[in-house]
Amino acid sequence: MIGARVPRLEAEKYRKILLEMGIMDINYKIAYEKDYILIPLKEEVSGYDIIDYEFLPLDKRKSSLREILSEKIPSSLLLKLRAFDAIGNIALIQLSDELIPYSKIIGEALLQLNPFIKAVFRKDSIEGEYRVPKLELIAGEHITETVYREFGVRILLDVSKVYFSPRLSEERKRIASLVRKDDIILDMFCGVGPFSLMISKKSDPKKIYAIDINETAIYYLKKNIALNKTYNIIPIHGDSREEIKKLEPPDRIIMNLPHSSFEFLPDVFSTFDRGIVHFYCVSENIKKVKERIIEESNKYGKEIEFLSERVVKSYSPNTDIYCIDFDFS
């Protein structure tokens, strides 16, 4: 087999050139010879010191978690393995009861599959008013604070102290694209600020009121405002029911609290005369959700115009998380 012998000090430069040319053979390992690096080639190329060498083949890298675990866990159980969430350099995974005895094996496999992951936690139920997940370290370092990156936004958070879902990234981008210049935004359950930060970075709102009852979430939101230089976000620690009564009328309201959003609709309808709402909820049937929104609006003499509806993600075999965009006046 042939290869190119290049000076060790310039090896990275030549490796990139040969790789971009499509001539470097990526199925074989680069070799070392004193002050030189030997790069495996598919064919000869002019301008290089071409040599004959027995390059060693690269070990085939397993491409999926199930492939890595196929020899360690019964195939019937592997069918129950769920997708994991990567938040910065931390992975969170939910496991069925049958897979819990294999937690550490699964955690080590995740580290093997993703070199950038430093810690793997098994995520149990989401508990309490703050929607904080119960976590168990199953592999790697015990780190819980990380920086997550999303469409140019950096989000600092502690996965053990605040709720955050990376699976809403496209939804956050969608909402940001709808915001008009000089809109006033109300983010009623902001958490560490993913919706608010995305809107501030990608749109041109006048200001964003971001409320959360979790003081730790607001602490990280303030950190994220400085990190992203999104100074038109106004962080507010408190109960949205009370805090919205102190604010000027918003043009757009984000209600991302899927299990409890309906509890706050009366406060929105009784406090504001009009606005566009992005309403998130868990339900078996989107028609029932819309009927309930109309029923609630009628109590406060509001007219509803539904603008769009979509399934954001599956929540359980029988339920989904929906987002319904509607205008009220």
Query: Do 46 and 72 reside in the same domain of the chain?
Result: no
Q: What is the DSSP letter of 259?
A: T
Distance CA 144, CA 319 (A): 30
User: What pLDDT, on a 0 to 100 scale, did the predictor assign at position 127?
Assistant: 65
Structural domain includes residue 232: yes
Query: Do 314 and 231 reside in the same domain of the chain?
Result: yes
Query: Do 102 and 220 reside in the same domain of the chain?
Result: no
> Could you tell me the residue range of the domain that residue 91 belongs to?
65-143
Q: What share of the chain is helix, strand, coil (3-state, %, to 5)?
A: 30, 35, 35
Residue 34 backbone dihedrals phi, psi, to 5 degrees: 55, -115
Stretch 242-256: mean pLDDT: 97
Query: Do 233 and 309 reside in the same domain of the chain?
Result: yes
Q: Tokens in use for 187?
A: 């983010």
Query: Do 7 and 120 reside in the same domain of the chain?
Result: no
Contacts of 238 (CB under 8 A, 6+ apart): 211, 213
Structural domain includes residue 151: no
Structural domain includes residue 47: yes
Distance CA 210, CA 225 (A): 11
Structural domain includes residue 208: yes
Query: Do 47 and 69 reside in the same domain of the chain?
Result: no
pLDDT band at 61 (very low <50, low <70, confident <90, very high): low
Torsion of CA 44, 45, 50, 55, to 10 degrees: -60
Query: Do 46 and 186 reside in the same domain of the chain?
Result: no
Residue 69 has pLDDT above 80, yes or no: yes
The candidate with the shortest Cα–Cα distance to 69, out of 99, 94, 90, is 99
Distances (CA, A) of 26 to 1, 23, 248, 269, 271: 13, 9, 60, 61, 63
Residue 10 has pLDDT above 90, yes or no: no
- What is the CATH number for 14? 3.30.70.2580
Mean of the per-residue pLDDT values for the chain? 92
Distance CA 58, CA 163 (A): 41
Stretch 96-112: mean pLDDT: 93
User: What pLDDT, on a 0 to 100 scale, did the predictor assign at position 221?
Assistant: 98
Residue 323 has pLDDT above 60, yes or no: yes
pLDDT band at 62 (very low <50, low <70, confident <90, very high): low
Query: Do 48 and 76 reside in the same domain of the chain?
Result: no
Distance CA 329, CA 311 (A): 25
Structural domain includes residue 201: yes
Whether the model clears a pTM of 0.75, i.e. scores above it, the answer is yes
Condensed to tens digits (0 to 9), the pLDDT of residues 280-318 reads 999 998 999 999 999 999 999 999 999 999 999 888 888
Query: Do 48 and 71 reside in the same domain of the chain?
Result: no
User: What pLDDT, on a 0 to 100 scale, did the predictor assign at position 211?
Assistant: 98
Q: Is the dihedral of CA 218, 222, 228, 231 positive or negative?
A: positive
User: What pLDDT, on a 0 to 100 scale, did the predictor assign at position 258?
Assistant: 93
Share of the chain above pLDDT 70, in %: 98
The candidate with the shortest Cα–Cα distance to 148, out of 89, 193, 192, is 89
The conformational region for residue 71 under phi > 0 = left, psi -120 to 50 = alpha, else beta, is alpha
Q: Which helix (H) or strand (E) holds 278?
A: strand 275-283
Identify the domain boundary among 143, 177, 194.
143
Lowest mean pLDDT among 50-64, 228-242, 266-280: 50-64
pLDDT higher at 193 or 42? 193
Structural domain includes residue 60: no
pLDDT band at 250 (very low <50, low <70, confident <90, very high): very high
- What is the CATH number for 282? 3.40.50.150
Identify the domain boundary among 143, 175, 193.
143
Identify the domain boundary among 13, 31, 52.
52
Condensed to tens digits (0 to 9), the pLDDT of residues 165-211 reads 998 999 999 999 999 999 999 999 999 999 999 999 999 999 999 99
Query: Do 268 and 321 reside in the same domain of the chain?
Result: yes
User: What pLDDT, on a 0 to 100 scale, did the predictor assign at position 66?
Assistant: 84
Query: Do 135 and 193 reside in the same domain of the chain?
Result: no
Distance CA 28, CA 40 (A): 6
The candidate with the shortest Cα–Cα distance to 101, out of 138, 130, 64, is 138
Query: Do 216 and 278 reside in the same domain of the chain?
Result: yes
Structural domain includes residue 31: yes
Structural domain includes residue 180: yes
Residue 11 has pLDDT above 90, yes or no: no
User: What pLDDT, on a 0 to 100 scale, did the predictor assign at position 328?
Assistant: 97
Provide the number of structural domains found in the chain.
Answer: 3
Distance CA 124, CA 93 (A): 9
